[in-house]
Amino acid sequence: FHDGFLDLIEDDMLSNGTIPDVVPFYRYGNQQADPSWSSAFIFVLFSRFHISGNLEPYKKHRDSVKLYLDNMFRQYEERGRLAMMVATGDLWGTYGEWEVANETDRPPHTFVSAFNWILTLQQASEMAESAGDAHLAKLYAKNASDISREFLQVYYHEDQHSFEFGSQTELALALRLNILNEDEAADVGDFLNHRLQADGEDQGNWTVGMYGFKYILQSLTKSGHADTAYSLLKSTPNPSVGFMLLNDFEPASTNLWEVWDAIHQDATGNSRQHHMYSTLGTYLYELAGVVGNQEHGFGYSQQKPLQLAVQGVINNLTHACSKSKNAFGPFEFCWSAPSFDGVIPDDDPPSSSHFTVTLPTGSYANITMPLLQTKHHRAKRLRIVESENVIFEGTVDRDSMDLPHAPLPGLDSLSFNFESYTLDFIVSSGKFNFSL
């Protein structure tokens, strides 16, 4: 499907790099496309590369990618760049943030267009570098860096830890770009969390549309507010995903709506079978322990291993199992662990934690396993089984570590992180069972 979709985009591209809002282009949209909508060309290519490590789609469309990005940069220059667009009220786009839950919190079109423009450049640079197109990678990276600086100068309010008008979408998108330092990102994440609390449970908390929804759960999680993201996912007041699925009037089944308040709107632009909020699936993987892979990849190289974590991103889940696949085949990660938050009393010893991971040949995973802290740091026994063979048994404790110093079959490294009080494993292809 994706390969065919990419071919359709290229077929409808004009000789100057202009592509339409919708392909095939015969009924809806414009040509020149809204910058946010046309970014689908790069995003689909990047997802093919990011999930499986497959660069063939990028190589096939490499010339069209450059043509498209050159056209976008031409538009950007002709409009006077970002500061001029904002000063003159140039929207630089037709649609912007699509179908917001709260119209008063809609970000300017120009903000959303600039975000997607920067992100497409970042992703194009990464694909070009991996494909050996060093000159293009450097060009795209420079443009992304230059426009990111302009983005910060125009929209970032450092004293308020906010962007533009401080909407949920603006904060979530800004965090996704990774253009803030660690302290700034934490402050903006705190402000996003505050905004969600201030918007209130009785309103369902959400004010986002298509783009804000795509990134808000991950932005909250990455900035230390995974519990808020989880609460949002579970909420059922209107508007929310929970309301779509559980309302008494027209509950969705396997589908999602285009409009948050669909049951109270007319039929115009009001699809009941829409995919634009389906990015919540990425967050469900994070809950199940496949964390950070929106940015880190799916384990097709040692440089971009699967990021797996027992207990996922919050502390009160007790078990989960996730299955997916990369270019080499299916992988599976299942775990169970006691629910905890903080130090466990010595008179209430926790049950064991364990996980299994199955990786196809050629794949790599970095796995984090938290150690439950008791008052006197009770030692735990670690047992590792590869296929049906016990390859390690030893003691794990804060003060005395009985860990292997030499690599074990399929286990590239095993270390104890004193700062996070976790065991960190790096494994390659095989089936492993770890118990603690």
Q: Name the pTM for this structure.
A: 0.87
pLDDT tens digits for 406-430? 567 777 777 777 777 778 888 888 8
pLDDT tens digits for 95-116? 888 888 888 889 999 999 999 9
The pLDDT of residue 375: 45
CA distance 293 to 307: 7
Residue 131 — pLDDT band, cuts 50, 70, 90?
Answer: very high
| Contact predicate 121/138, CB 8 Å | no
Higher pLDDT, 312 or 174: 174
State which of 152-166, 231-245, 398-412 shows the largest mean pLDDT: 152-166
- Average pLDDT score, the chain: 84
Which two three-digit tokens encode residue 394? 């030893």
Higher pLDDT, 202 or 210: 210
Listed in order, strand segments (DSSP E) in 255-404 are 306-309, 319-326, 329-336, 343-344, 354-370, 373-374, 380-386, 389-396
The pLDDT of residue 401: 55
**pLDDT greater than 50 at residue 203:** no
The pLDDT of residue 411: 78
CA distance 281 to 241: 12
